[in-house]
């Protein structure tokens, strides 16, 4: 007999809208926005949001997994592009980004992470961070992720 409260595989399917705003100075901002289907699940104390990248993001052929913990977030990309970015509010993390020309050292200073849950389901993430490559600032990024 089926329990009506049993989770079905489709219960974790979500629709994700990602809007990124990267500014390199006053009046100089690049905005990208795309929507895709993905999966959300909670494993232990962590929440995971996984989706396939698109041509719009420039990362086609790459799977992105966002891992959310209490005070931290990781963005892991595997496929045509492979790297992990770690975020913790008020902390600066360093990550290696592999390119065809060799590795780059990315510095990420997380200004803020906001995670919204509604009825025990992930609804959104706002991430604000400054990034530098090999010690040179490349700007501020604000990423809004809406999960439905």
CATH classification of the domain holding 22? 2.40.128.20
What's the whole-model pTM score? 0.84
Task: State how many domains the chain has.
Answer: 1
Cα–Cα–Cα angle for 117, 144, 28, nearest 5°?
160
Q: Do 115 and 128 touch, CB atoms closer than 8 A?
A: no
- Model confidence over 50-63: pLDDT tens digits? 999 888 777 889 99
* In a domain? residue 35: yes
pLDDT tens digits along 68-94: 998 899 999 999 888 889 999 999 999
Residue 69: give the domain boundaries: 12-147
Query: Cβ distance 118 to 14 under 8 Å?
Result: no
What confidence tens digit (pLDDT) does each residue in 90-124 have?
999 998 877 777 788 889 999 999 999 998 889 99
Over its C-alpha atoms, the chain yields an Rg (Å, rounded) of 16
């Amino acid at each position: 007999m089926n329990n009506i409260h049993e989770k079905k595989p489709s219960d974790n399917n979500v629709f994700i809208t990602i809007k990124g705003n990267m500014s390199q100075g006053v009046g100089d901002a690049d905005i990208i926005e795309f929507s895709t289907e993905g999966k959300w699940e909670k494993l232990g104390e962590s929440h995971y949001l996984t989706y396939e990248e698109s041509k719009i993001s420039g990362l086609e052929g790459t799977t992105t997994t966002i891992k959310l913990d209490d005070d931290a977030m990781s963005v892991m990309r595997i496929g045509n592009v492979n790297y992990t970015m770690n975020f913790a509010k008020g902390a600066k993390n360093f990550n290696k980004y592999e390119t065809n020309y060799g590795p780059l050292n990315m510095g990420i200073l997380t200004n803020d992470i906001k995670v919204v849950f509604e009825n025990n389901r992930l609804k959104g993430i706002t991430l604000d961070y400054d990034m530098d490559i090999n010690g040179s600032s490349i700007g501020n990024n604000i990423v809004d992720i809406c999960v439905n």
